[in-house]
């Protein structure tokens, strides 16, 4: 047997490019995705699974909308706000979308500063992201209140197919729950960054694992995913 020289761990070895590199990674031992940590791999696979959840929700909604025999309420009118006497279609949704997309930008910046170990900026940008997220959920609560006051219920609405209300509350509710969970995670991680837990590699309360700045990126993956899902909800529910 040949003696094995221990190389420094966690440092990537040079790898062939392209298809050859892909094949050699999958044929290798220990790790299939080289230089991808366990946490990041786990988040990616979770997001794949969650994609199927949202995919099923949206497909169910589309099949209901396509097969309904009574008219589907017109989203442009239902989601219009009366501003200064004129009905502006989809204005609130447009602002919500803008806020959420902006939060993806601040999140990406937070990841960048996290890897530079700039504690202050990372934490502030994460707080800003969380603020945008909370604003989004707040506007969604406003939208729900408005529709409920106009008589939209999960079992019916004044304008047409009862599935309008049920799919609306279900899909936006499920997405809003995702955003809310994201906000909570952002606040927890921002606090840890602020305290410098990742500089001292402080151990997690539950898991007793050492913390790393990578968790900022993993939280970011989740956050970008929630944004991306919103883009599809926006396109399929509001713009259709």
The residue ranges that bind another protein (CB under 8 A) are 1-7, 9-10, 13-16, 24-34, 36, 38-39, 41-42, 45-46, 48-50, 52-53, 55-57, 60, 63-64, 67-70, 154-155, 161-163, 165-167, 170, 174, 206-208
Contact 237, 227 (CB under 8 A): no
Q: Closer to another protein by CB, 38 or 82: give it.
A: 38
Query: Among residues 57 and 131, whose Cβ is nearest to another protein?
Result: 57
Residue corresponding to tokens 């700045």: 213
Q: How far is the CB of 199 from another protein (least distance, A)?
A: 19
What's the min distance (Å) between Cβ of 39 and another protein?
8
Residue 131's nearest CA partner among 178, 179, 173, 194 is 179
Q: Is 204 helix (H, G, I), strand (E, B) or coil?
A: coil
136: left (phi over 0), alpha (psi -120 to 50) or beta: alpha
Find the shortest distance in angstroms from Cβ 27 to another protein: 6
Least separation in angstroms between residue 12's CB and another protein is 9
Dist. CA 159–CA 74, nearest whole Å: 9
Q: What is the DSSP letter of 119?
A: H
> Which CB, 89 or 160, lies closer to another protein?
160
Nearer to another protein, 69 or 82 (CB): 69
CB 61, CB 237: distance < 8 Å = yes
Nearest CA to 223 out of 11, 47, 22 is that of 47
Q: Is-contact 80 90, C-beta < 8 A?
A: yes
For another protein, the closer CB: 84 or 206: 206
Measured CA to CA, the distance from residue 31 to residue 37 in angstroms comes to 9
In the complex with another protein, which residue's Cβ is closer, 131 or 232? 232
Structure tokens at 218: 């993993």
Smallest distance, another protein to C-beta of residue 160, A: 10
Provide, rounded to whole angstroms, the least separation between the CB of residue 217 and another protein.
16
């Amino acid at each position: 047997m040949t003696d094995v020289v221990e190389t420094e761990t966690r440092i990537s070895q040079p790898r062939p490019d392209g298809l050859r590199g892909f094949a050699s990674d999958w044929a290798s031992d220990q790790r299939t995705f080289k230089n991808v940590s366990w946490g990041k791999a786990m988040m990616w696979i979770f997001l794949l699974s969650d994609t199927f959840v949202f995919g099923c929700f949206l497909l169910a909604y589309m099949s209901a909308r396509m097969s309904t025999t009574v008219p589907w309420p017109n989203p442009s009118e239902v989601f219009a706000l009366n501003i200064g006497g004129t009905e502006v279609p989809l204005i609130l949704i447009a602002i919500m979308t803008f806020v959420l997309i902006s939060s993806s930008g601040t999140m990406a910046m937070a990841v960048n500063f996290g890897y530079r170990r700039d504690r202050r900026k990372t934490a502030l940008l994460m707080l800003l992201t969380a603020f945008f997220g909370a604003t989004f959920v707040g506007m969604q609560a406003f939208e729900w209140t408005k529709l409920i006051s106009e008589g939209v219920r999960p079992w019916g609405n004044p304008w047409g197919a009862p599935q309008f209300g049920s799919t609306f509350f279900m899909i936006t509710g499920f997405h809003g729950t995702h955003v809310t969970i994201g906000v909570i995670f952002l606040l927890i991680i921002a606090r840890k960054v602020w305290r410098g837990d990742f500089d001292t590699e402080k151990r997690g309360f539950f898991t007793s694992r050492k913390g790393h700045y990578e968790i900022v990126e993993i939280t970011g993956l989740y956050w970008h995913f929630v944004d991306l899902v919103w883009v599809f909800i926006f396109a399929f529910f509001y713009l259709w």
